[in-house]
Amino acid sequence: MKILLVAIPNHHFFQWTNQLKESGFEVYWFDITDGAGFVKKINWVQQFNGWKLKWNYPLRYKIKKHFPKLHSILEKLTVNKTEIVFEKIIDQIQPDVVHCFEMQLTGLPILTVMRKNTIPFAYSSWGSDLFNYQNLGVATALAKSFLNRVDYLITDCQRDYKIAQNLSFTNTFLAVFPGNGGIEIETDFIQSIKNRRTICIKGYNDGVGKAIVVLQAIETIELDEAIDFLIFSADDVVEKYLKDSDYFRNKKVEIISRKSFLPNKLLLQKLGSCQLYIANSISDGLPNALLEAMGMGAFPIQSNPGQVTEEVITDAKNGYLIKNPLDVKDIALLIEKALENDSLRAKSQDYNVNFIQKNYNRNELQAKIVNIYSTIKPTY
């Protein structure tokens, strides 16, 4: 089977793709952004990159910055159109299935080409992709038109399957899978409750992510001096907030920028010694980082946009759900309750580690992921 994957260069996509490495399939990747060059993480995949520019004219970036109108004219003359390049790739490799990851950035740019053929078309929704499609600039009619061409749907949560159905999707729903193809747990680094002292916070503050609200909540709490902090995937505004904060200036804080690369195994090892994992946003799918934190035994405190998080967290049983991601007082109360309840955190750790191993174990999911491609029926 020839599988043509269409995606942005993304860590979760590379992890998913590597689940197919020993499958026997011929796997191709069309980098829809042409922004990554050849990616060594999936060096066994036949990659299509370097396709965008006809001519990389001198001073291109300076012209873009200082002369936007001239840049717009030059782009039309020097940049290949995505749909033309993609159609040539289709003709070249004759794939048995095209699988796109995410609708707005990946699915819609190739929709005109896919409408011209009957090649089985699979689509994986990611994050806020379906839940927040209108705020991402996708009209309802266009979302419906896209889903009408999709033959096979994969989501990272049950919520998004229901949204797709409400948008008139009636074709084959394959399964719910984590967007990265499964969680790899570093069991040797899972610490007991008594050895955990770090509060981990996901540092997104990009309009959707609301990490600063969490930081503001923590600033209202008198914490044990032994507690330290890990802020990972921190946006610039979060880093600045931490550096300007008198409260955090007197705490031990490790900041990992969103722009930097942190090996996944290292993040998992760090999560294994965190007592709390806090992530707060107004829109998301089922986050891979949440599943990883749960699998490493950190007590999760997570927002619940569209009731997605409650698919894995039962409030006050194996974590706390943030009901209002903008409510500083409510988030502070949840943090205090979690820190005060050693018994709840211990029971939660045992439950969550087992739950993730049972339902999201990467090794267990590999055969299932390979099998879903085997169920896709060629049109010839």
In angstroms, what CA-CA distances link 146 with 3, 29, 168, 347?
A: 20, 21, 10, 44
Residue 50 CA, distance from chain mean position = 25
Q: How far apart are CA 12 and CA 24, in angstroms?
A: 21
Q: First vs last Cα of the chain: how many Å apart? A: 12
Exposed, middle or buried by CB within 10 Å (0-12, 13-18, 19+), for 229? buried
2-182+362-374 and 187-359 in the same fold = yes
pLDDT tens, residue by residue, 142-161 = 999 999 999 999 999 999 99
Q: What is the pTM of this model?
A: 0.92
The pLDDT tens digits of the residues spanning 235-265 come to: 999 999 999 999 999 999 999 999 998 899 9
**pLDDT for residue 69:** 73
Q: What is the pLDDT of residue 341?
A: 97
116-136 pLDDT, tens digit each:
999 999 999 999 999 999 999
Write the DSSP assignment of 184-207 as a string of letters.
---GGG---GGG--EEEEE---SS
Residue-level pLDDT at 75: 67
Tell me: pLDDT of 72 over 80. Answer: no
Residue range 329-335: mean pLDDT, rounded: 98
Is the pLDDT confidence value at 16 over 70?
Answer: yes
Instruction: Look up the CATH architecture of domain 187-359.
Output: 3-Layer(aba) Sandwich (3.40)
pLDDT tens, position by position, 279-304:
999 999 999 999 999 999 999 999 99
Mean pLDDT of 48-63: 77
The per-residue pLDDT for 131 is: 96
Q: Which CATH entry fits the domain spanning 2-182+362-374: 3.20.20.70, 3.40.50.2000, 3.40.190.290, 3.30.70.660?
A: 3.40.50.2000
Q: Which pLDDT band holds residue 306 (cuts at 50, 70, 90)? A: very high
Given this model, what pLDDT does residue 35 score? Answer: 86
Check residue 281 and report its DSSP letter: B
Write the DSSP string, 311-342: GT--TTTSSEEES-TT-HHHHHHHHHHHHH-H
* pLDDT over threshold 80, residue 77: no
Decide if pLDDT at 57 tops 70.
no
pLDDT value of residue 300: 98
Q: What is the DSSP letter of 5?
A: E
| Burial of 31: CB neighbours in 10 Å, binned 0-12, 13-18, 19+ | buried
**Which residues, other chains included, contact 146 with Cβ-Cβ below 8 Å and sequence gap of 6+?**
103, 107, 108, 111, 123
The ranges assigned to domains in the chain are 2-182+362-374, 187-359
Q: At what angle do helices 288-295 and 264-271 cross, to 10 degrees?
A: 50
Report the pLDDT averaged over residues 104-117. 97
pLDDT of residue 60: 65
According to DSSP, the residues that pair with 322 across neighbouring strands are 303
The pLDDT tens digits for 28-44 are 999 999 988 999 999 99
- Per the structure block, which two tokens stand in for 370? 């390979």
CA distance 154 to 51: 28
Q: How far is CA 250 from the centre of its chain?
A: 32
In the chain, % of residues over pLDDT 90: 89
State how beta strands 26-31 and 46-48 pair.
Answer: parallel
CB 183 within 8 A of CB 259: no
Band of pLDDT at residue 329, cut at 50, 70 and 90: very high
pLDDT at 261 (0 to 100): 87
Q: What's the rounded Cα separation, in Å, for the pair 168 and 144?
A: 6
Q: Are 308 and 366 in contact (CB under 8 A)?
A: no
Give the list of residues 6+ apart from residue 65 with CB closer than 8 angstroms, or none: none
pLDDT band for position 64 (50/70/90)?
confident
Task: Give the separation between CA 308 and CA 102, rounded to whole angstroms.
Answer: 17
